[in-house]
Amino acid sequence: MRFTKMHGLGNNYIYVDLWQEEIPEDALSPLAIAVADVNRGIGSDGLITIGPSTVADAQMRIFNADGSESQNCGNGIRCVGKYLYDHALTKATAITVETKAGIMKLDLHIGSSDLVSAVTVDMGPARLRRADLPVLSGAPDETALRDELTVNGETLQFTGVSMGNPHAIFFVDDAKTHPVEVYGPRVERHELFPERVNVEFVTMKNRREIDFRVWERGSGVTQACGTGACAAVVAACLHHVCDREEDITVHLLGGDLLIRYNHDGHVYMTGPAEEICTGNWPHEPWRA
Protein backbone atom coordinates (compact mmCIF):
# COMPACT_ATOMS: atom_id res chain seq x y z
CA MET A 1 0.00 0.00 0.00
CA ARG A 2 1.39 3.39 -1.01
CA PHE A 3 1.04 6.13 1.59
CA THR A 4 1.89 9.80 1.98
CA LYS A 5 2.65 11.36 5.34
CA MET A 6 1.60 15.00 5.63
CA HIS A 7 1.15 17.55 8.37
CA GLY A 8 -0.61 20.80 9.08
CA LEU A 9 1.28 22.64 11.83
CA GLY A 10 2.63 19.32 13.11
CA ASN A 11 -0.78 17.62 13.24
CA ASN A 12 0.32 14.68 11.09
CA TYR A 13 -1.59 11.86 9.43
CA ILE A 14 -0.93 8.99 7.07
CA TYR A 15 -2.84 9.64 3.84
CA VAL A 16 -3.97 6.88 1.49
CA ASP A 17 -5.21 7.58 -2.04
CA LEU A 18 -8.25 5.36 -2.65
CA TRP A 19 -8.06 6.00 -6.38
CA GLN A 20 -4.93 3.84 -6.27
CA GLU A 21 -5.43 1.63 -3.22
CA GLU A 22 -8.27 -0.56 -1.98
CA ILE A 23 -8.80 -1.02 1.77
CA PRO A 24 -11.66 -3.14 3.15
CA GLU A 25 -14.10 -1.16 5.29
CA ASP A 26 -13.47 -3.35 8.33
CA ALA A 27 -9.72 -2.79 8.00
CA LEU A 28 -9.74 1.02 8.26
CA SER A 29 -9.77 1.27 12.06
CA PRO A 30 -7.12 -1.46 12.59
CA LEU A 31 -4.97 0.13 9.90
CA ALA A 32 -5.20 3.53 11.63
CA ILE A 33 -4.03 1.98 14.90
CA ALA A 34 -1.20 0.17 13.11
CA VAL A 35 0.19 3.13 11.15
CA ALA A 36 -0.15 5.55 14.07
CA ASP A 37 2.02 3.40 16.34
CA VAL A 38 5.29 5.29 16.74
CA ASN A 39 7.20 2.15 17.78
CA ARG A 40 5.89 -0.51 15.37
CA GLY A 41 4.19 1.58 12.72
CA ILE A 42 4.97 4.81 10.92
CA GLY A 43 3.97 7.17 13.71
CA SER A 44 1.12 9.66 13.27
CA ASP A 45 -2.02 11.15 14.81
CA GLY A 46 -4.05 8.73 12.70
CA LEU A 47 -5.12 7.81 9.17
CA ILE A 48 -6.92 9.86 6.50
CA THR A 49 -8.25 8.39 3.29
CA ILE A 50 -8.74 10.47 0.13
CA GLY A 51 -11.07 9.08 -2.49
CA PRO A 52 -13.87 9.63 -5.00
CA SER A 53 -17.11 11.37 -4.07
CA THR A 54 -20.46 11.61 -5.84
CA VAL A 55 -21.18 15.05 -4.34
CA ALA A 56 -17.77 16.79 -4.21
CA ASP A 57 -14.34 16.78 -5.85
CA ALA A 58 -13.12 14.25 -3.27
CA GLN A 59 -14.07 12.54 -0.04
CA MET A 60 -11.97 12.38 3.12
CA ARG A 61 -12.40 10.06 6.09
CA ILE A 62 -10.48 10.56 9.33
CA PHE A 63 -9.48 7.81 11.76
CA ASN A 64 -7.83 8.72 15.05
CA ALA A 65 -4.83 6.94 16.55
CA ASP A 66 -7.18 4.76 18.62
CA GLY A 67 -9.11 3.67 15.51
CA SER A 68 -12.21 5.79 16.16
CA GLU A 69 -13.60 7.78 13.23
CA SER A 70 -13.86 11.57 13.38
CA GLN A 71 -16.27 13.77 11.47
CA ASN A 72 -13.80 16.46 10.41
CA CYS A 73 -10.20 17.62 10.77
CA GLY A 74 -9.16 21.17 9.92
CA ASN A 75 -5.44 20.46 9.56
CA GLY A 76 -6.18 17.24 7.71
CA ILE A 77 -8.48 18.81 5.16
CA ARG A 78 -5.84 21.40 4.23
CA CYS A 79 -3.46 18.52 3.51
CA VAL A 80 -6.14 16.82 1.42
CA GLY A 81 -6.41 19.96 -0.72
CA LYS A 82 -2.63 20.06 -1.14
CA TYR A 83 -2.50 16.35 -2.04
CA LEU A 84 -5.22 16.69 -4.69
CA TYR A 85 -3.48 19.62 -6.41
CA ASP A 86 0.16 18.62 -6.00
CA HIS A 87 -0.54 15.06 -7.21
CA ALA A 88 -2.46 16.33 -10.26
CA LEU A 89 -5.85 14.96 -9.19
CA THR A 90 -7.16 18.48 -9.80
CA LYS A 91 -5.77 21.69 -11.22
CA ALA A 92 -8.59 23.83 -9.86
CA THR A 93 -7.75 26.16 -6.98
CA ALA A 94 -11.33 26.24 -5.65
CA ILE A 95 -12.47 22.73 -4.74
CA THR A 96 -14.93 20.87 -2.49
CA VAL A 97 -14.28 17.97 -0.14
CA GLU A 98 -16.93 15.68 1.33
CA THR A 99 -16.56 14.92 5.06
CA LYS A 100 -18.75 13.31 7.70
CA ALA A 101 -19.49 16.90 8.81
CA GLY A 102 -20.67 17.97 5.35
CA ILE A 103 -19.10 19.40 2.20
CA MET A 104 -16.22 21.83 2.79
CA LYS A 105 -15.08 24.51 0.32
CA LEU A 106 -11.33 25.00 -0.10
CA ASP A 107 -9.33 27.80 -1.73
CA LEU A 108 -5.81 26.64 -2.55
CA HIS A 109 -2.95 29.17 -2.42
CA ILE A 110 -0.24 28.19 -4.90
CA GLY A 111 3.39 28.87 -4.04
CA SER A 112 6.69 28.13 -5.71
CA SER A 113 7.11 25.22 -8.13
CA ASP A 114 3.32 25.19 -8.67
CA LEU A 115 2.71 23.54 -5.28
CA VAL A 116 0.12 24.41 -2.65
CA SER A 117 1.63 26.42 0.22
CA ALA A 118 -1.52 27.27 2.20
CA VAL A 119 -5.25 26.58 2.15
CA THR A 120 -8.30 28.57 3.21
CA VAL A 121 -11.23 26.39 4.24
CA ASP A 122 -14.85 27.41 4.70
CA MET A 123 -15.49 25.13 7.67
CA GLY A 124 -19.22 25.79 7.47
CA PRO A 125 -21.38 27.18 10.25
CA ALA A 126 -20.54 26.67 13.91
CA ARG A 127 -23.24 24.65 15.65
CA LEU A 128 -24.07 25.90 19.10
CA ARG A 129 -26.92 23.82 20.52
CA ARG A 130 -26.08 21.33 23.25
CA ALA A 131 -27.73 18.66 21.09
CA ASP A 132 -25.19 19.37 18.32
CA LEU A 133 -22.20 18.23 20.37
CA PRO A 134 -23.94 16.43 22.17
CA VAL A 135 -23.57 17.44 25.81
CA LEU A 136 -25.97 16.61 28.65
CA SER A 137 -25.42 19.76 30.71
CA GLY A 138 -28.79 21.44 30.09
CA ALA A 139 -31.65 21.94 27.64
CA PRO A 140 -30.67 20.35 24.28
CA ASP A 141 -31.79 23.34 22.15
CA GLU A 142 -29.85 25.92 24.16
CA THR A 143 -26.21 27.04 23.94
CA ALA A 144 -23.58 25.61 26.29
CA LEU A 145 -22.06 29.02 27.04
CA ARG A 146 -20.95 28.79 30.68
CA ASP A 147 -21.80 25.21 31.51
CA GLU A 148 -20.14 23.44 34.41
CA LEU A 149 -18.62 20.03 35.01
CA THR A 150 -16.68 18.52 37.85
CA VAL A 151 -13.24 16.94 37.49
CA ASN A 152 -11.42 15.58 40.56
CA GLY A 153 -13.78 17.51 42.81
CA GLU A 154 -13.07 20.80 40.98
CA THR A 155 -15.91 22.65 39.23
CA LEU A 156 -14.90 23.99 35.80
CA GLN A 157 -16.73 26.18 33.26
CA PHE A 158 -16.70 25.38 29.55
CA THR A 159 -18.25 26.54 26.30
CA GLY A 160 -19.50 23.89 23.87
CA VAL A 161 -19.12 24.33 20.10
CA SER A 162 -19.56 21.81 17.30
CA MET A 163 -17.62 22.20 14.06
CA GLY A 164 -19.14 18.95 12.84
CA ASN A 165 -17.16 17.38 15.68
CA PRO A 166 -17.56 18.25 19.38
CA HIS A 167 -15.41 20.72 21.33
CA ALA A 168 -15.35 21.86 24.95
CA ILE A 169 -13.43 25.12 25.35
CA PHE A 170 -11.95 26.20 28.68
CA PHE A 171 -10.60 29.74 29.21
CA VAL A 172 -7.56 29.46 31.49
CA ASP A 173 -4.95 31.81 32.92
CA ASP A 174 -2.05 30.39 30.90
CA ALA A 175 -2.71 27.83 28.18
CA LYS A 176 1.03 27.29 27.71
CA THR A 177 1.51 25.86 31.22
CA HIS A 178 -1.95 24.44 31.89
CA PRO A 179 -1.85 20.70 32.78
CA VAL A 180 -3.54 19.51 29.57
CA GLU A 181 -2.45 15.91 30.17
CA VAL A 182 -4.29 15.91 33.51
CA TYR A 183 -7.59 17.55 32.57
CA GLY A 184 -7.81 16.55 28.88
CA PRO A 185 -8.49 12.80 29.23
CA ARG A 186 -10.89 13.30 32.13
CA VAL A 187 -12.96 15.85 30.23
CA GLU A 188 -12.83 13.84 26.98
CA ARG A 189 -14.55 10.89 28.65
CA HIS A 190 -16.70 12.84 31.12
CA GLU A 191 -20.21 11.49 31.56
CA LEU A 192 -21.68 14.74 30.17
CA PHE A 193 -20.28 13.89 26.71
CA PRO A 194 -21.88 10.63 25.49
CA GLU A 195 -19.76 10.66 22.30
CA ARG A 196 -16.63 12.00 24.04
CA VAL A 197 -15.24 15.44 23.18
CA ASN A 198 -12.19 17.37 21.99
CA VAL A 199 -10.86 19.57 24.78
CA GLU A 200 -9.33 23.03 24.22
CA PHE A 201 -7.54 25.24 26.75
CA VAL A 202 -7.24 28.86 25.60
CA THR A 203 -5.90 32.18 26.86
CA MET A 204 -6.71 35.54 25.28
CA LYS A 205 -3.49 37.48 24.65
CA ASN A 206 -5.55 40.35 23.20
CA ARG A 207 -8.65 40.68 21.03
CA ARG A 208 -6.75 39.44 17.95
CA GLU A 209 -4.56 36.65 19.42
CA ILE A 210 -5.24 33.44 21.31
CA ASP A 211 -2.84 30.98 22.96
CA PHE A 212 -4.18 27.44 22.47
CA ARG A 213 -3.52 23.87 23.54
CA VAL A 214 -5.61 20.81 22.80
CA TRP A 215 -6.40 17.29 23.92
CA GLU A 216 -7.93 15.59 20.87
CA ARG A 217 -10.59 12.95 21.19
CA GLY A 218 -8.99 9.61 20.38
CA SER A 219 -5.45 11.00 19.94
CA GLY A 220 -4.49 12.94 23.09
CA VAL A 221 -2.15 15.94 23.00
CA THR A 222 -1.41 17.01 19.42
CA GLN A 223 0.58 19.85 17.88
CA ALA A 224 -2.50 21.46 16.38
CA CYS A 225 -6.24 21.05 15.84
CA GLY A 226 -7.87 23.10 13.09
CA THR A 227 -11.48 22.49 14.10
CA GLY A 228 -10.48 23.18 17.71
CA ALA A 229 -8.94 26.52 16.74
CA CYS A 230 -12.17 27.38 14.92
CA ALA A 231 -14.24 26.39 17.96
CA ALA A 232 -12.00 28.47 20.25
CA VAL A 233 -12.51 31.62 18.16
CA VAL A 234 -16.27 31.03 18.05
CA ALA A 235 -16.31 30.65 21.84
CA ALA A 236 -14.23 33.82 22.26
CA CYS A 237 -16.66 35.75 20.04
CA LEU A 238 -19.63 34.40 22.03
CA HIS A 239 -17.94 35.70 25.19
CA HIS A 240 -17.25 39.07 23.47
CA VAL A 241 -13.49 38.90 24.00
CA CYS A 242 -12.79 39.02 20.26
CA ASP A 243 -14.76 40.19 17.23
CA ARG A 244 -16.55 38.59 14.31
CA GLU A 245 -15.43 39.40 10.75
CA GLU A 246 -11.85 39.79 12.04
CA ASP A 247 -8.87 37.51 11.38
CA ILE A 248 -7.86 36.07 14.75
CA THR A 249 -4.40 34.51 15.11
CA VAL A 250 -4.46 31.29 17.08
CA HIS A 251 -1.07 30.23 18.42
CA LEU A 252 -0.84 26.43 18.52
CA LEU A 253 2.12 24.29 19.53
CA GLY A 254 2.85 23.62 15.85
CA GLY A 255 2.40 27.17 14.58
CA ASP A 256 -0.30 29.74 13.81
CA LEU A 257 -3.71 29.60 12.15
CA LEU A 258 -5.84 32.51 11.01
CA ILE A 259 -9.51 32.05 11.95
CA ARG A 260 -12.45 34.30 11.07
CA TYR A 261 -16.00 33.89 12.42
CA ASN A 262 -18.42 35.73 10.16
CA HIS A 263 -21.84 37.08 11.00
CA ASP A 264 -23.46 34.45 8.75
CA GLY A 265 -22.18 31.81 11.18
CA HIS A 266 -19.50 30.41 8.86
CA VAL A 267 -15.96 29.93 10.13
CA TYR A 268 -12.94 30.36 7.83
CA MET A 269 -9.52 28.84 8.54
CA THR A 270 -6.26 29.63 6.74
CA GLY A 271 -3.05 27.74 7.34
CA PRO A 272 -0.20 25.76 5.78
CA ALA A 273 0.00 22.14 4.64
CA GLU A 274 3.18 20.17 4.03
CA GLU A 275 4.15 16.78 2.66
CA ILE A 276 6.68 14.88 4.80
CA CYS A 277 7.37 11.70 2.84
CA THR A 278 5.92 8.86 0.79
CA GLY A 279 6.46 5.15 1.20
CA ASN A 280 5.17 1.60 1.03
CA TRP A 281 3.30 -0.17 3.84
CA PRO A 282 3.33 -4.01 4.00
CA HIS A 283 0.31 -5.69 2.45
CA GLU A 284 -2.64 -6.11 4.82
CA PRO A 285 -0.76 -5.49 8.07
CA TRP A 286 -4.08 -5.48 9.96
CA ARG A 287 -4.34 -9.23 9.30
CA ALA A 288 -1.09 -10.01 11.11
In a domain, 156, yes or no: yes
Q: Kindly tell me if the per-residue pLDDT of 288 is higher than 70.
A: no
In a domain, 62, yes or no: yes
Residues 92 and 154 reside in one and the same domain = no
Do 217 and 143 share a structural domain? yes
Q: Is residue 286 part of a domain?
A: no
The verdict on residue 287 lying in a domain is: no
Going by the annotation, the residues of the binding site are 11, 64, 74-75, 165, 198, 216-217, 226-227
**Residue 242 appears among annotated catalytic residues:** no
Range of the domain at 169: 130-264
| Shared domain check, 149 and 112 | no
- Regarding whether 47 and 12 lie in a shared domain, the answer is yes
- What dihedral angle (degrees, nearest 10) is formed by the CA atoms of 275, 281, 284, 286? -70
Same domain assignment for residues 198 and 117: no
Report the alpha-carbon angle 38-42-47, nearest 5: 100
* Binding-site residue ranges for substrate: 11, 64, 74-75, 165, 198, 216-217, 226-227
Please count the structural domains in the chain.
2
Do 190 and 253 lie in a common domain?
A: yes
In a domain, 246, yes or no: yes
Note whether 158 and 139 are same-domain residues. Answer: yes
Q: Note whether 23 and 100 are same-domain residues.
A: yes
Name the 3-class secondary structure at 219: coil
Give the residue-averaged pLDDT of 73-97.
Answer: 97
Kindly report, residue by residue over 91-112, the tens digit of the pLDDT: 999 999 999 999 999 999 999 8
User: Do 103 and 192 share a domain, yes or no?
Assistant: no
Question: Does residue 220 register a pLDDT over 50?
Answer: yes
CB 242, CB 248: distance < 8 Å: yes
* CATH number of the domain enclosing 215: 3.10.310.10
Provide the whole-model pTM. Answer: 0.92
pLDDT of residue 286: 60
The one catalytic residue among 79, 225, 230, 242: 225
Say if CB 215 and CB 184 are below 8 A apart: yes
Name the percent of the chain lying above pLDDT 90. 97
> Does one domain contain both 153 and 226?
yes
One domain for residues 104 and 147: no
In the residue annotation, 225 being an active-site residue is answered as yes
Let me know whether 84 and 146 are in one domain: no
